[in-house]
A and B are shown apart, each in its own frame.
Chain A
Amino acid sequence: MNNIQLDDNGRLRHFIGIEGLPRHLLIDILDNAESFISVAKKQVKKAPLLRGKTIANLFFEPSTRTRNTFELAAKRLSADILNVNISMSATTKGETLIDMLRNMEAMQCDMFVIRHGESGASFFMAQHVAPHVSIINAGDGWHEHPTQAMLDMFTIRQYKGADFSALKVAIVGDILHSRVARSQIHALTTLGAAEVRVIAPRTLMPNHVESLGVHVYDRLKKGLEDVDVVIMLRLQKERMQGALLPSQHEYFQYYGLTDAKLEVVKPDAIVMHPGPINRGVEIDSEVADGERSVILQQVSNGIAVRMAVMSMILAPKSTEHKKDKH
């Protein structure tokens, strides 16, 4: 299904999901992001790659962090950025997604960054968008959040080196409802991680998840044994309202990450979290602020990774040119 993401030359045309993308393309994204890290360190944090391009942030779900990093990434590439807060406007008035899309196209946008509550929304938009417009998925339902996964891979590479085949990675938390987890799983398996584990109470573990190529654990301590990377997922507060979990207290007791539970991981293991974190729910403050935590590093890497993806789609020649010089 993800072929819609690639053009006839195998270059990135949309960025909808990690599933189905070739390994070399993921590595290209990481390499390009590397080169953009330096932009952030300059006094003038701008590269002229996307001058004259217009990017629209279409967020159908509230988000500040992800939207901000996309906005910063676009600005650092010299693109014009338009923020559209949709939950307040169009679709509540009955305007269809397609109508909305046509309207935005009429404003001569080159790229839409889309976050939507329904799985498959970005794929749907990519199927119907005009040929000159590209889509970046900033999270669709429980399906994928590919830029988040790539910034996580980038962070792992920073700390653990480029060889993923030596790594055991554990993803902990609400796997069932997590688009981040799905994208991370596809990214890690594509990059050849030695072992990907998912750890969750059975109520938050999707059926047949092992078919994605992961090992399934329902006990935190067992699942954390000897891992190099621990990725904690955010637990949405509304999960407490149904019958999925008895209480935050009990969740923290069994699945919250504490220093004591980290005793079994590799000595140099890192702890990650896509944010925003719930202290005392899925992660203890001591861990979040501790020496293993790379959570803030993830945030700053997010901008470089999003710059990489945007420029690979909208300015493929210049990024290729830059790579040739390497």
Chain B
Amino acid sequence: MAGFSIVGGRVIDPASEFDEIADVHIQDDKIAAIGTPPADFTADKALNIDATGYIVCPGLVDLSVRLREPGAEHKGTILSETRAAASGGITSICCPPDTDPVIETPAVAELLQQRAANAGMAKVHPLAALTKGLKGQHLAEMGDLKEAGCVGVSNAMNPIENTEVLRHAMSYAANCDLTLFMQPQEPFLGRKGCAHEGEVSTRLGLAAIPEAAETIAVSRILFLMEITGVRVHFCRLSTAKAVEMVKDAQAEGLPVSADVSTHHLFLTEMDILDYNAQCHVMPPLRTQRDKEALRRGLAAETIHAICSDHQPHEPDAKLSPFAMTDQGISGLDTLLPLTLRLVEENDWDLSKALGMVTYKPADILGLAVGRLAVGSDADICIFDPEAYWRLTEDNIRSLGLNTPFLGWDFKGRVSYTLINGKVVHTSMNH
């Protein structure tokens, strides 16, 4: 089969620190070469993509995407959300196990992957349930689930109350050589809360979640790591103190990584001052100081990845008084735009920032994606770094329109997304 080339773009591969104007040659779904084509490369020039003025980088890898299928298809489906991901330049996504039914049997894990493969859009990598029904009582069949393609284990947003169970679950995950994805939340503290405990929750009269709900959970897991030896990935850090704790643990040599959601990098408790339910998220939006610490944590590589924490909802889910609304933001459409905005606001190196949404999350998942290596799958994002656009209800690709970033202006827009060498999205008119 004839290959083709992506011609004239600025090719950035954060993993190899490659950053040059170059051509990318693709043959048989794989990256055949960057720069000079190999001797046996046969190209159909009609298929070539002119990337002059564009940036060519690995397809993005998103560590947390709720597809809503199976169980809540009125909020999103595998097809709608993997397509939305692809249009946002995201080519691999990891989905937490809190579907309905829970990803606790190989059947559910296989169904998800099969339907995603049929959709032919972003690749889906499920996390397996850590405990049966995510109830924190009995271990799920982690070994079988790993065989069925799960890339890690998680109890999603359900904290495990019983520390003995947690310890055994961590040991067993280590035994299966699975990374444990933990969203740190103390099981009781602020359990009924919906906002960060501080000035704003006091003013609005909302039940609050203190910072300690996160730090206690982080320390509990860190101590148990020492006796179980499991690799832990902390999901959605939200407090400055937790970032410090993770940094110290890394310095001690514990195998611990962390991610942060895009919204925690841009929004604070102040954004709920008008009871804006679009900003009702878990963990809650915290203070300006926390937001800055999360950004610094990324820059210092204490936090490795940025994720969308995509949670699409139907409009009614947000049409109630604040505490009664479903938490979560539809984030697939804004993962790349907000990452590019971080580069602008913090004067970050573009390649380094792209690493936070490509090879670094891929490494956490143990996947060989998120890089432009010769021989790897041609999962590629091509974006115009100078294109200005505004997020509106009309151009959101996800089924979920629930985002506080509506009306924001962004710079940088995806022109093409390729998965396995096939163009699955383009904003260009042909």
Contacts and interface: CB of A to CB of B under 8 A. Distances in A.
Contacts of B205: 119-120, 140-144, 179, 182
A43 interface: no
Contacts, number: 74
A119 B321 contact: yes
Nearest to A141: B205
A98 B324 CA distance: 13
Nearest to B274: A1
A211 B324 contact: no
A124 B274 CA distance: 9
A235 interface: no
B273 interface: yes
Given A96-B320, A97-B320, A119-B321, A207 B275 contact: no
A206 B320 contact: no
A120 B204 CA distance: 7
Interface string A201-218: 000001111011000000
A118 interface: yes
B199 A211 contact: yes
B145 interface: no
A19 interface: yes
B319 interface: yes
B273 A124 contact: no
Contacts of B324: 118
A308 interface: no
A15 interface: no
A120 B275 contact: yes
B202 A119 contact: no
A119 B320 contact: no
A208 B316 contact: no
Interface in A122-158: 123-124, 128, 140-144
Interface in B184-210: 197-199, 201-208, 210
B219 to A, nearest CB: 21
Q: For the complex, would chain B's binding face be called helix, strand, loop or mixed by DSSP majority? A: loop
B148 interface: no
Given A96-B316, A207-B208, A118 B323 contact: yes
A59 B319 CA distance: 19
B359 interface: no
Interface residues of B, number: 22
B410 interface: no
Contacts of A118: 320-324
Contacts of B206: 119-120, 141-143
Contacts of B275: 1, 119-120, 123-124
A187 to B, nearest CB: 15
Interface in A85-122: 96-98, 116, 118-121
Contacts of A119: 204-206, 275, 321-323
Contacts of B273: 1
Contacts of B274: 1, 123
B203 A212 contact: yes
A287 B339 CA distance: 62
A116 B206 CA distance: 13
Contacts of A208: 198-199, 202
A207 B198 contact: yes
Contacts of B198: 207-208
Interface centre among B207, B210, B316 (most CB of A within 10 A): B207
Interface string B207-241: 11010000000000000000000000000000000
9 contacts: A97-B321, A98-B319, A119-B323, A120-B205, A120-B323, A141-B323, A143-B206, A207-B201, A211-B202
Interface of A: 1, 19, 96-98, 116, 118-121, 123-124, 128, 140-144, 179, 182, 206-209, 211-212
